[in-house]
Structures are given as C-alpha cells and as structure tokens.
Amino acid sequence: MRYTEQSLPVGVIASAWSSLDVDLLVVPVFEGEVPALPADLDAVLGPLVRAVIERREFTPKAFTTLVLPAAGPGWRPERVMLAGFGTRAACDARRVRRAASAAALAARERRVRRLAMAASGALPLADEARAAAEGLTLASHYSGIYKSGDEARPVPIEALVVVPPATASADVREAEREAGRGYILASCSNLARALTNEPANVMTPRLFADIAGQVGADAGLRVDVLDEDRIAGLGMGLLLGVSRGSAEPPRVVVLRYDPPDAPARPLLGLVGKGVTFDTGGISIKPSDRMHLMKTDMAGGAAVLSAMKAVAALKPNAPVIGVVPLVENMPGGRATRPGDVLRSASGKTVEVLDTDAEGRLILGDALWYARELGATHLLDAATLTGAIGIALGRDMTGLFGTPAQWTDLVARTAARAGDRVWQMPLVDEYREQLRSEIADISNIGGRPAGSITAALFLQEFSGGRPWAHLDIASTAWADEAQPWQPKGPTGVAVRTMAELACTPDAWPPPVA
C-alpha cells in the first residue's frame, strides 16, 4: 500500500489579515452582503471586490470561489480568494466544513502551499474553528496515488484559521482545541478514504490486518488478529462460509482502547464490514461497476480509523473495534445457494444468495464483540443497494434499537457531519427471512431489502443497544462536488469516534 497522508495540522491564529505570511487568504462572502473588509484590505481590493459582486462576475452561492491578486503597502498575502458561503441564515457547521473544503480544493489546483481562512462569524468561534479545520483537512485527501508524473501528486497545504486580532486569549485557546479535534477526526476520515480506495489486488484481508496492527500500535491501541485457525476454533461458520471460495484466507481484527481508571462497563463495540472484494460469489454480480466492489470494506476502514481517532481523543470509556475480513469469490470451494451455515452463536442460516455475504460476516462479528464484553453496539457496512434506492447518494440509513440509542446515534451523526435517516425495523418483515430448513435465511427478497438486512443483523445483537449504519450509497461519491472529489468519502468515522466520547449519554447496559 502506497498510502502517505498529505494533511498537516490546522492552526488557529488571531491576526490582522495584512500580516499573514500566506500564499492565499480565503475570505467568506454571504449572499446579499458585500463583505466588510478591514481597512488595509479594502484599500488594496475593496473597489474590485465590490465591482465583481455588483457585476455578478462572482455570486457568493455556497461553494463558489474567485481568486484575485492582492498587492499593496504592508500587505503580505499574495492572493485573496472570495469563497461563497450561501446565505448567512443557512450557514451551519456543515456549510462551513464544506465551504472550507471547497476553498482548499480550489487552492490545491493552484499549487498553493500556505493558506489562511478567515472566520465568517456565522457560528460561535470554537464551532467554526473546528468545522473549518475539518474541511481544510478533508481537502488534503488525494485518490490518485498510483498515477505517475510530477503533476499527479498535490503539494501539502499548511492551513490556518484566522480569528479577529482582538479575540480574547481564552477564546483563542478554545478555538485551538476544537480545531485540533477537527483535525484528528478529519485526518482519520482521510485514512478510511485511503484504505477504501486501494485496489483489491493490494488490499487483501491479510494486508488490512497488517495495516491495522501498525495503525493500532502507533495509536497506543491493543491489537489482536485472528487467523483462519482461530476463527475456526471460535466456530465462526458464517465468516468461514463466505471466505471459502477465495485463495485469500480470512482475518478478524480486534482493536481495544482501554483508558486507565475507566469503568469496565459500559463498553462500546464498533463493528465494520471488511469484504476486501465482493464478486457476489456463486450469485455473481453483473460486470458493470463490479470494480467498485473494492469499496466493500469501507465499514471496516471506518472502524479502524475511528479507533485511531478514539485513541487520540481519549474518552474515559473503553471501546473495542471488530473488523471481519474476507474476499467473496466464486471458487470451487465456495458456498452455494441453498447451503446451510452455522454461526458462532449457534444460529443456523440458509444461504439463498451468496451476494448477501456482508450480513453473514457481521453476524459472527457482532457475536464476537458481545463475547468480548461489548454492552452497546454500532456497526457500519456497505450492506444493501436498496438503501440507495430509498435514500439516495447523500444519506446513510440508520437502524437499531432501542429508540434512545438510535436517537443518540442520529444526533451524534448530525453533529459529526454524517447525514443519516432513521429507518424502521418492521417486525412483520421478519417473516421474509423465514427458512424451511434452518433458523433463518440470509435474504428476504426485494421488498424492503435494507430493512430485512438490518433485521438479520439484529438477530445477532443479543438484545443489547444496537445500531446499524447502511453506508452502501454514501461510502463512495460517484460524482465530484466542489467539496468532495469523486471517490471514497470516509463516512461514519466521525460519527463512531464522537459516539465513543459521549458515554454518559448512552442508555443503561442490558443486565
């Protein structure tokens, strides 16, 4: 794997704009407003800025940008970028995060090395510093690492969030802390994006496990990697059944965060689907877009990256991450439609479709998280195409029980910047999973496909507070946006890490 992250820590500075030693200064502009520029900048650029806005050469709709040269007595920044933030009334943390990312991506195209972004004043200072730091850091991800030539790799951008020079020192320190938190969350999201983007001939279960060991050790996590013999010894028949058709052996990665003096309970268990490539097995997929099945381990990448973030944020509660890793291939030993597999929990499953493999490996992984003591569960998986039909490309499906737990996950996701929508668990739909030969079948037909998949996972939650994020439509951006290039998104990383930091809000563990 040729992963090297380009992000640099994002700083906060209380300074006059004219004194900033940067290549580019980003100035937020709201619709219907002419930016109130400091006197030194107004003298340099004021007439031109007002002219381009009045002539509508630049309209400050969200995520638009315009770069102008800046030169004048005592003025240090080389260029100024006007960055559209849309309307002030609609500006929230998501808007700041995306606008910052859009500005940094536009700056990267201009080979900018040092960038400063002025605070817009639309949010409390600490909140804006954090959102801006996240956006600036997310923009540093680069997907084309296998391209050759000097033009392929962008230069790393050193970024600053600029607050007014008269800001109280205590407020600056708080903004610095929040910007640091935003940098941690965004850089870990970039790690998940890098892992998800790797081709399947590189990112095998064994390599993922090796990377997890290195990332975990560097972060101070305890890491345990189960090989195929230990997996068999635990009776994980669902996971082994999926892996049988591949020459690549399965792995299960367990990462532990155990802060000193923290109570043993509650214990959050994060579980992520790690299918490093999914052909569909015997129920093989159409060739169109099958190349994107390298992303079927995005949930596992999210868990590894979230655990790295947890170790850096240091909540006072233990957390474990469990990532089951397999390839789903149509080899001569592959599981066939109609086969019956026995899970580690003892539940038997009739496999009606070998392309519904993610729920199988997650069933054994959820059981194992419980065996390791998890009292609360959250899984992330590129599980169903049906969720994209229901919610589109920008909304993750959220399932779970009890309502107190799923409501908390939804609020946490909103705060973290992951858009989720709560979906129902309709008890009557369990009938669609009924098998004539085993305890349960692994698919329930086309109707309500994402719901029946979640109901299948619930069978392995052991009655604990459990939530499931179906990220099948949100783990990969099919089209480039100003704030997001085409490619992996790093969805769910920030939600998982933020959830780990709020143990006081979790519902009581099941006795």
Which contiguous run of DSSP H or E holds residue 82?
strand 79-84
Select from 179, 195, 463 the least CA-distant residue to 306: 195
Burial of 100 (0-12, 13-18, 19+ CB in 10 A): buried
Select from 364, 369, 365 the least CA-distant residue to 268: 369
**CA dist 255 → 177, 221, 319, 365 (Å):** 26, 6, 8, 13
CB 396 within 8 A of CB 450: no
Specify whether 285 is catalytic. Answer: yes
* Single-letter residue type at 503: P
Select from 268, 166, 255 the least CA-distant residue to 217: 255
Tell me the chain's radius of gyration from C-alpha atoms: 24
Q: How high is the pLDDT of residue 315?
A: 97
Q: How high is the pLDDT of residue 39?
A: 82
Domains of the chain in sequence order: 11-193 (3.40.220.10), 198-505 (3.40.630.10)
CB 461 within 8 A of CB 377: yes
User: Within the chain, which residues score under 70 in pLDDT?
Assistant: 1-7, 150-152, 511
Among 50, 206, 285, 419, the active-site one is 285
Q: How high is the pLDDT of residue 42?
A: 85
- Calpha distance 7→3 (Å, rounded): 12
- Using the structure block, give the residue that is written with the tokens 């770069």: 67
- Calpha distance 75→45 (Å, rounded): 11
**Residues whose CB falls within 8 Å of the CB of residue 428, separated by 6 or more in sequence, listed in order:** none
CB 297 within 8 A of CB 196: yes
- Calpha distance 21→509 (Å, rounded): 53
Select from 217, 216, 186, 198 the least CA-distant residue to 7: 186
CB 384 within 8 A of CB 457: no
- Calpha distance 3→198 (Å, rounded): 9
Specify whether 147 is catalytic. Answer: no
- Calpha distance 462→296 (Å, rounded): 25
* Single-letter residue type at 37: L
Among 98, 359, 370, 464, the active-site one is 359
Q: How high is the pLDDT of residue 7?
A: 60
Helix residue spans in 93-236 (DSSP H): 93-109, 125-138, 169-197, 205-219, 228-233
Q: How high is the pLDDT of residue 73?
A: 77
pLDDT digits (tens, 9 = 90+) for 412-456: 999 999 999 999 999 999 999 999 999 999 999 999 999 999 999
* Single-letter residue type at 252: V
Q: How high is the pLDDT of residue 2?
A: 45
- Using the structure block, give the residue that is written with the tokens 């972060």: 219
- Calpha distance 335→197 (Å, rounded): 27
Phi-psi region of 383 (alpha: psi -120 to 50; beta: other; left: phi over 0): alpha
Select from 26, 69, 60, 44 the least CA-distant residue to 162: 26
- Using the structure block, give the residue that is written with the tokens 């996971």: 239
- Calpha distance 58→215 (Å, rounded): 44
Q: Hey, CA dihedral for 420, 425, 430, 432, is it positive or negative?
A: negative
pTM assigned to the model: 0.96
- Using the structure block, give the residue that is written with the tokens 């240091």: 314
